[in-house]
C-alpha cells in the first residue's frame, strides 16, 4: 500500500507534535485533504513502520492516530531514562519542571500561564525523559490533560515522595527564575505545593468580645 499524494510529511509532522490521538477527520481538515486519502495514507504509514521494524510505530487508539515507541524496545528506553542525567536539563525545562513539581496536578495552560510562554515542547521533552506524566483530566477546565511528576523524578532527586520537595529557591535554576515563578503563582492565586497557605485573620466582627474582668 502506497501513501497517496504528498501526505506523508505533513501527517508525520502533525502526529509528531500531538500529545494525544488525532482523528482522521481532524487531520484531513488541517491538511485540507480528502478523509479517505488521509485514512489510506495513515494505514500505509503504519504498515510501513511495522514492516521495517522501526523503533516507533503508528497506532490507531482511542478514536485517533498516535505515534509512539515500539513496545519491543521499552527495556532500552527504561534503561536510558533511568540513567539520564538531570543536569542536562535546559533552563526552560527546569522552569517547567519546577512549576509542575510545585503545583501538580497542573494543565499545560497552567504551566504556560506561570512561565509566560508556550510550554508544549518542553513538557513533551520532560515526558520523554520520564520526569513528567499525564495524571488525569481537568473536568472543570475543558477536560485538559493534567500533569504531575513520576517515580523516576523522585528517584533522580532522591525524594521519598513529593512532600519532601525542597524549598523552591533550592530547586529553581536561579534566583530570578524562583522569584518569577513565585510571583506568577501568587498573581494567578495558585498555591505553592508544600508551603502552607496564609491563614486568614479573623474579622473584628467575628472576634469574641474582650472580657471586662
- How far from chain centre, in Å, is Cα 21? 15
The sign of the CA dihedral 156, 159, 20, 110 is: negative
Grid cell locating 69 = 515507541
Residue 142, SS3? coil
The answer to whether residue 196 scores a pLDDT higher than 50 is no
At 144-184, the pLDDT tens digits run: 899 999 988 887 777 778 887 776 656 566 677 667 666 66
Alpha carbons within 13 A on the beta-carbon side of 186: 9
Helices (H), ranges, 52-189: 74-82, 91-102, 108-115, 120-128, 151-156, 168-171, 175-187
The answer to whether residue 42 scores a pLDDT higher than 90 is yes
Q: Nearest 5°: phi and psi at 110?
A: -65, -40
At 9-30, the pLDDT tens digits run: 999 999 988 867 899 999 999 9
At 114-129, the pLDDT tens digits run: 888 888 889 998 998 8
Beta bridge mates, 148: 133
* Model pLDDT, residue 212: 36
Q: What is the mean pLDDT of the chain?
A: 78
pTM of the model: 0.46
> Going by DSSP bridges, is the β-strand pair 56-61/64-69 parallel, antiparallel, or unpaired?
antiparallel
- Structural domains of the chain sorted by starting position, each given as residue range(s) with its CATH number in brackets: 8-72 (1.10.10.10), 84-187 (1.10.10.10)
* Model pLDDT, residue 155: 78
Amino acid at each position: 500500500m502506497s501513501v497517496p499524494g504528498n501526505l506523508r510529511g505533513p501527517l508525520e509532522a502533525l502526529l509528531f507534535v500531538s500529545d494525544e490521538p488525532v482523528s482522521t477527520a481532524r487531520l484531513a481538515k488541517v491538511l485540507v485533504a480528502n478523509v479517505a486519502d488521509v485514512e489510506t495514507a495513515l494505514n500505509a504509514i503504519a504498515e510501513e513502520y511495522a514492516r521495517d521494524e522501526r523503533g516507533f510505530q503508528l497506532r490507531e487508539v482511542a478514536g485517533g492516530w498516535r505515534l509512539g515507541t515500539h513496545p519491543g524496545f521499552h527495556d532500552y528506553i527504561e534503561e536510558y531514562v533511568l540513567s539520564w542525567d538531570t543536569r542536562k536539563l535546559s533552563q526552560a525545562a527546569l522552569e517547567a519542571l519546577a512549576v509542575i513539581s510545585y503545583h501538580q496536578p497542573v494543565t499545560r495552560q497552567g504551566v504556560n500561564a506561570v512561565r509566560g510562554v508556550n510550554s508544549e515542547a518542553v513538557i513533551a521533552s520532560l515526558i520523554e525523559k520520564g520526569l513528567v506524566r499525564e495524571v488525569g483530566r481537568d473536568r472543570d477546565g475543558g477536560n485538559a490533560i493534567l500533569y504531575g511528576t513520576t517515580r523516576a523524578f523522585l528517584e533522580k532527586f532522591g525524594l521519598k515522595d513529593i512532600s519532601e520537595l525542597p524549598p523552591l529557591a533550592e530547586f529553581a535554576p536561579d534566583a530570578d527564575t524562583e522569584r518569577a515563578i513565585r510571583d506568577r503563582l501568587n498573581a494567578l492565586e495558585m498555591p505553592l505545593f508544600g508551603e502552607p497557605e496564609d491563614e486568614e485573620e479573623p474579622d473584628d466582627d467575628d472576634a469574641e468580645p474582650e472580657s471586662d474582668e
